[in-house]
Amino acid sequence: MSARGSEPMDRSEPRPPPQEGAEGEDFGYRLFPERRSEAKPQRSFLATSLLTFNHKCQVMLKIALNTSPYAQLLLDAMKQSGCTVHEDRHFACEDCDGCVSGGFDSATSQIVLCQNNIHQQSHMNRVVTHELIHAFDHCRAHVDWFSNVKHLACSEIRAANLSGDCSLINEMTRFKFGLKQHHQTCVRDRAIRSILAVRKVSKETAEKAVDGVFDSCFNDHEPFGRVPHSKSDAKYAYRNFQNRDRYYANL
């Protein structure tokens, strides 16, 4: 979902550790200038404004973590899988290039939130959810983010499908297109664009990777157990998840 027309606002992909002196390899770190070691903090009017952005970002993050049923379900699921997420250690509000809105840094297991590009709470909620799905995938499976584009494709499909990235569009176009068909098209399209934003691969390669794993990854709804198309769907999924948890705890 984008405040800027057709730009994919959550070009938010797992990134590798920085390459030593790497100019040639470009895995997407160019999008996150503050992750580069040469980025120096500056004291200027600009820096002061960024502090304000940073504060707003932290506040919106806190609200997302405490009130979004999508985020709460994912946090619980990760805790259950042995990957407890800590707000202060696993999230970072930073400035990003272009219209990127977030990313998952698998080297540090940190979720980057682009404080200069996220201005609304609903957008923050979606980005946090999208990135937590990458973090969940990273936790539960050995994901080879950087040399196996199919792994990345699968996580992008899941993130687009389950985070609500495609739900608003659905709301607007459900009278024009078949709802289900449109949702699939949106998920495929976003996954391809996400891969292209951070990997130097051709469009054909990205499409092939997404299409090759689409069916199995699109139908993998863990840990939601469904596609949460709306906040009330997500609340329902969260309640079910808690009950499932309680049920197993009593066995």
Q: Which residues bind Zn ion (CB under 5 A)?
A: 12-13, 156, 159, 194
By the 10 Å C-beta count (0-12 exposed, 13-18 middle, 19+ buried), 246 is classed as: exposed
Question: Are the C-beta atoms of residues 145 and 106 closer than 8 Å to each other?
Answer: yes
Residue nearer to Zn ion on the CB measure, 65 or 187: 187
DSSP run (H or E) holding 2: none
Residue nearest to Zn ion (CB): 12
For the bound state, the minimum distance from the C-beta of residue 227 to Zn ion, rounded and expressed in Å, comes to 17
Residue 194 C-beta: closest distance to Zn ion, Å: 5
Clarify whether 131 is annotated catalytic.
Answer: yes
CB 240 within 8 A of CB 225: yes
Question: Which residue stretches of the chain are H helix?
Answer: 45-67, 69-80, 87-90, 121-140, 149-162, 167-173, 179-198, 203-218, 231-250
Identify the active-site residue in 13, 131, 156, 207.
131
Rank residues 159 and 234 by Cβ distance to Zn ion and give the closer one.
159
Torsion of CA 186, 188, 192, 197, to 10 degrees: 40
Q: Which is nearer to Zn ion, 50 or 64 (CB)?
A: 64
Return phi, psi of residue 66, to 5°: -95, -15
Residue 177 Cβ, how far from Zn ion at the closest point, in Å?
A: 24
* Shortest Å, Cβ 162 to Zn ion: 11
Pick 50 or 112: Cβ nearer Zn ion: 112
> Are 146 and 16 within 8 A, CB to CB?
yes
Catalytic residues: 131
